[in-house]
Structure formats: structure tokens, C-alpha cells
Amino acid sequence: MVARKKRGTSSPRESKEPVATDEITPPAEDFLKAVYEIGRAGNAVATTELAHHLGLAAASVTGMARRLADAGLVTHEPYHGVRLTSAGRRAALRTLRRHRVIETYLVRALGYPWDEVHPEAERLEHSASDTLVDRMAAAIGEPTTDPHGAPIPTRDGAVDDAPAPSLASVEVGTTVSVLRVSDEDPVLLRHLAGLGLVPGALVTVRERAPFAGPVVIDVGRVREHIGVPLAERVLVAVSRHRLPSRTRRANS
């Protein structure tokens, strides 16, 4: 189902006129959010990729894509993928705003660690009203990013979500600041926190071994060796600050 049933109405909708945002069901909200997150650059998203992301069978994803296309929220061409319409993008950003404000509120107001808030926000994002989310945001100073560095859409659906390079692509000798990391894997988040790779941290790339070998970085005063797969999960921005060369740890 795409829209919540209303008394005295038939279902499903056959018109391609977009449904109202308060009529979209939680599974449809999850689907739209996934299309946005995977295809942020505006690219079409393959149903197989959506199935993997959502943990659903490919047939279920294809069926949802068809229903959302009938509702005017996505376009779906077999073998070409799924794209959000303008109405679908607004709905996806509305859900993302709720999710990211809730995560930030849990960390700042309730003291949750950053590796525990994603599943809580996944549950609450479908039931919290926009009014409640707006009050949460106001109570913690109208944050612009969540604890993992992801931008929080405004009430009007504006968001600065420009692509950013990963730490794996940074040239040797360059200092960058951590912008954001994925919020879905608590083990990864705890590991990143232990390395100091959190939003705002300054990182200098010192060495990169060939053939996908480890990347040597300075995080503050500490030298670390990390694998390329991990470096690819950390998005960064070039920093104006420069960190001095540091000696290796005694046990490096």
C-alpha cells in the first residue's frame, strides 16, 4: 500500500496525481527515502540495489515501485531504474528531516551515544508529527546536521546535500575535515569514534600503500593505519588548516 486508508474512500489510487504526504505509509516512506539516499546525484536507482538496501525481495520492490509510480511519487522504467518525482523528493526529504532531527535530539537532549540512535529514529520517524519534530529541532538550537554529519533538510525541504569525496580519494599530504559517515552500522560507528574519525575532525593523509594497501593518516596527534574500505566510508572536505608532521606511535 502507498496511501493510508481513509474512511469512505477506495484504495488503491489509480490516478497519478501525487498523494498527500500524510497519506503515505511507512513502507512507502522507507522506499522513497532509500531512492533519495542511493541516488542523491539524481541517478536512477536499480530495483536490485533498492532490494538489497531495504532487505526485501526484488519482486516486492518492483511492486512498490509500480504503486508509487501510479501515485505520482516516482518514475519507474523496467531495466532503467527508479527516480523520484518532485512530489516524491519532497516526501523523501520530509522523512529524512524527521529521522535526522530525532537522531540529533536523542544525542543532544537525551545523551544517547551516536551508535544507538539510528534504529530508534527508524522507528520514530514514521509516527512523530512534523510539529513534534519542529519543536525538537527548536529545543536543540535548529541543528543543520545530524550526529553523523548528514545535512538536515529544512521545514521547506531545502537541503545542502552536494556530493563529497571520501577519505580514500584524498591526495597524500592533504589535510581534510570529516564531513559525515554512515549511521547504519553501530560497530562501524564505534570503531570510527575510537579512531577519532568523527564529523569536524581534522585528518592529514600521510601515506597510501599501493594495490589497495592501508592509508596512513594523522588524526589530531595520533597516527593511524586504516584500510581502503573504511576510508571510503568517511566523507570529507578539504580543510584550510594544516597539521604538523607527527612521529609515529612507539608501537607503530
pLDDT digits (tens, 9 = 90+) for 12-36: 343 456 666 667 999 999 999 999 9
Rounded CA-CA distance 80/143 in Å is 37
In a domain, 132, yes or no: no
In a domain, 204, yes or no: yes
Whole-model pTM?
Answer: 0.84
Contact indicator for 125, 27 with CB cutoff of 8 Å: no
pLDDT digits (tens, 9 = 90+) for 109-118: 999 999 999 9
Coil, strand or helix at 84: strand
Residue 241: band (very low, low, confident or very high) from pLDDT cuts 50, 70, 90: low
In a domain, 8, yes or no: no
Residue 185: band (very low, low, confident or very high) from pLDDT cuts 50, 70, 90: very high
In a domain, 113, yes or no: no
Q: How many domains does the chain divide into?
A: 2
* Beta pairing class for 234-238 and 175-181: antiparallel
CATH of the domain at 223: 2.30.30.90
In a domain, 35, yes or no: yes
Print the domain residue range for 203.
167-238
In a domain, 128, yes or no: no
In a domain, 1, yes or no: no
4 pLDDT exceeds 90? no
Where among 41, 56, 84 does a domain terminate?
A: 84
Where among 84, 108, 136 does a domain terminate?
A: 84
Tell me how far CA of residue 74 lies from CA of 67, 156, 247, in angstroms. Answer: 9, 20, 53
Where among 84, 106, 131 does a domain terminate?
A: 84
Q: Give the residue-averaged pLDDT of 128-154.
A: 97
In a domain, 77, yes or no: yes
Q: What pLDDT, on a 0 to 100 scale, did the predictor assign at position 152?
A: 97
